[in-house]
Structure 1
Amino acid sequence: MNEVILKVENISKQYRLGEVGTGTISHDLNRWWAKIRRKEDPFLKIGETNDRSKKGSSDYVWALQDINFEVNRGEVVGIIGKNGAGKSTLLKILSRVTSPTTGSIKTRGRIASLLEVGTGFHPEMTGRENIYLNGAILGMTKKEITSKIDEIIEFSGCERYIDTPVKRYSSGMTVRLAFAVAAHLDPEILVVDEVLAVGDAEFQKKAIGKMQDMSQDGGRTVLFVSHNMAAVQNLCQRGIVMRNGKVFFQGNIEDSIQNYLKDNSTFETLSSYDNRIGSGVIKVIGASIYGESKNLKPQVGRSFHIELDIENPQEINSSQIFFDLKIDDQMGQRIAWLSNTIFNKELQNNVCKIIFKIDKLNLNHGGYYISTDVYVDRKRADWLQSAIYFEVIDGEYYNTGRDVPVSESRVLFDFDVNFY
C-alpha cells in the first residue's frame, strides 16, 4: 500500500473583497465574541463562490472551499484550472505562506516551494548568499548546503553571475537559481507554480527532467501547476482540476486534461464568453465547424470549414483587419496556424461572417481546440483561447483505399478566406 505523504482535509480559504483583514472593527468584535463563546465564525456563512466573472452581493468570497485530496510518496500531481480557480492559493496554504480559514493539512517531511519569481531571495544579496539564505529557510544546515552548492550552481547555469547581487539578474536567471536551490535541497515535497514558464525551452526541459528524477529515483513528491498541458502530461501521473475554488475532477492525467480543456470550450456561448482580451471593436460571438456541408462533421482528407460570426458594435472603416486562428490538439500542443489580413474593409455596425475553407483537411481523427485572435489596425480587438472545440472523424487522405494516419506536426494548410 502506498504511503500517504500529504493529506488535505476540508481546506477552505475566505477573503474579504476590497479590504485588508476583516475590514471593520465591528466585524472583528463579532468574530471575537463568537470565538470566546466557542461559536462558529459568523462570517463563514455568508461567503460566495469564487466566480470572478460574475458580480456578487457579498463582500466575502471563498477562494477555496472544501478541498480534499491525498498524495502518495513519489507521486507527481498536476493541479490545473483557469486563472482564478484557486491553484496558487492552495499552494500557498500547502507551503505555509498563508493559513486556511478552515480545515487541516497533514504532511510527512519538508516542503520546498517555488511560487513566484524571486520567492525567498533578497535582491541586495548575491546569488551565492541567497542559496545559503534559501537553504536555511528550508531547514538545511550550512554544512549540508555547502556540500551541494557546486551542483546547485552548475544546474542553474548562472555560474558567471553567482557572486553578483540578484537584483541585477533577469527574471529567467532568478527562476533558474531558485529552482536549482529548491530541487537540490532534498525536500520530501516540492511545490512548483507556473514560474517555469519564465525560463527558456532548454531550462524547462532540464527542470522537468529533474522533477522526474526526483520522483522516480528519489521517491520525492511533486505538486506541479502549469497551463502548459504538454508539460503537465509529460511530468504528471495524476491530475486535480480546479474550478471556482473547488475540486472539479480528480483522476489520471489524461482524463484530467480532457476535463480541463472541455471546461474551457464554450462552443455555443461565445457571445457570453468572459475570458477574452481586447478592445471589443470586433468580437467573435459564434462559430460553426463543419466538413463538406453544414450537416457533415469534419473528415480527414475532405474539405473543412471554420465559420465565425463577427459582431462589430460600431461602424469600422479600417485599412487592416487581421484574423488569426490557432488549432491545438487535446494536450494543448500547437498543430496548425491559420491567418489572413483583410485590407481596406468597411464594416457596418451589424453581425457579419468570415469563413476559412480548407480543401483537404490534413488532421488525424480526434478532438481539437481553436483559439481566435482579431486585430484592427494592429490593435488587438478580441482574443479567445481554446474557446472552440471540434472533432475530426476518420477518412482517407492519400487515396489509398484505406484510412492512413497523416502527420500532425506543424501542419501547413492551403486555405481560402471569404468575408461577408
Structure 2
Amino acid sequence: MKRREFLRKLGVGSLAALGMPYFAAAQARPVKLATLLPLTGPFAFAGNAGREGFVDGVEYVNEVLGGIGGRRLELIVEDTGYDVARGTAAFNRVITRERPDELLFVYGDSTGLSKALAPEIARLNLPYSATGYANELANPQNYPTMFLFGPIYNDMMEALLRQVRLQRPRARIAFVYSNTEFGRDPIPYGRERARALGMEVVHEEITPVTITDPTPFVLNLRRANPDFIIIHGYILTVEPLILRSAQEQGLRAQFMGTYFSAEPLLIQRAGPSADGFVVTYHHPYWYEALVPAVEEMRRFRVRKGRDISYRPTYYMGTLAMTLGLAEAMRRAAQAGRLTRAGVVEHLEKIGDYNAMGLVRDFNFVNHRLPQTRLFRASVRDGRFNAITDWLRLG
C-alpha cells in the first residue's frame, strides 16, 4: 500500500501525507505531555530508550498527524534517576510550573513513584500512566485517572504459568525477584496461581536490583531443583548473570521472565545461556517489519536523519503509549472536550484503535490492556521469536 493511501486510511489529510504539519490555529496553546524518566541510575538504559520513543511519537503526531485539534503536542522530560524522592520533586516542579489546561498527561517511571503520587494525581484529576504495571494501580475505582498501557504483572505471571502448564502440568516452580515493589508485586499471585494449577512452588530467591556475584543465589536454586524458574523485577541488571551462572553450575531448568526481560540485549549479555528463555511482551519488536508501525516509523526516522537500526522494547512501549494517548486527545478535541476529564473519557473509548499494530487494541479492562504474547530467545537468531499469538488475560 502506498504511504499516501495508508495515511489516508488513518484519517490523515493530504498535507500530513506529504509530511507537512497543518494546524488550524498556529498560535494555539500547546497540549503538554510530561514524562518522568530514569535517564540516570540503574535503569538508565530503559529510560533513555523510552525517551526516544516519546520524542519520535510526539514529533510524528505533530508533523504527520497534524497535532491535537490544531494544537501542538509538547513533550516535557524530567530525570528521576529511578528514585521516588527525585521523581516526586520532578512531578511537583512540573505541576507548579504548567497550566492545568495545557498539561493533560503525566507519565512516571515506576510502581513506587506511581503509588507515591496517587493521592495528588487523583486530587488533580490528572490522566497518568507509568513504566510499571503494578496490579494495585489497575483499579479505576481507587485510581480513576491512571491507565496502564499493557498487562499488569499478574497478567504476565498468568501467561507464563499457562505456558508452564502446557509443557509440564505438575511442574516444580521457583521465583527469582528483586527486593523492590516492582519485584514483589506479582509474587503472591504467582504462588497462589501455581498451586491452583497443580504446580509446586519449591523456592523463592530475593536479590537486590543489581548484584555482582550470582553464585550464592544460583546454588540455592540448584538445591531446590525446579523445573521452571520465573525471573521478575529487573531490567537486564541481574538476568544475564543468573543465566550464565546457572549454566556454569549445571542448573537444568527452563528460565522465564516478564516484560522488562524481553529485550534482545539480554541475549547479547548472557550469550548461549539465554537460549530458550521465554518472556511476555505486548508490542511488536523493531525487527517485525510486517507491522505497519515499524515500517512507518523507519521511514519517519530516515526523513529525520535518525538511526534506523534496532530500537529497544522500551522505545516501542513509549511510542505505542504516545500514539494511543494522542488518538484519545484528538477524539476529545473533536468532541470539544480537550481537558483532563475529556482525555480520561476518550482513553476509555479507543478500543477500535491499535496504533498501526503497536498493540493488539486499546480495549482497556480496569484501565489496563490485558493482552500479551510469549516469545522465546534464539541465540542463533539473536532475537526473541513469537511462540504464541495474542493471549487475552482478563
Q: TM-score, normalised by structure 1?
A: 0.24
Name the one with the larger strand percent: 1
The structure having more radius of gyration, on CA atoms, is: 1
Q: Report which of the two has the higher share of helix.
A: 2
TM-score, normalised via structure 2 length: 0.25
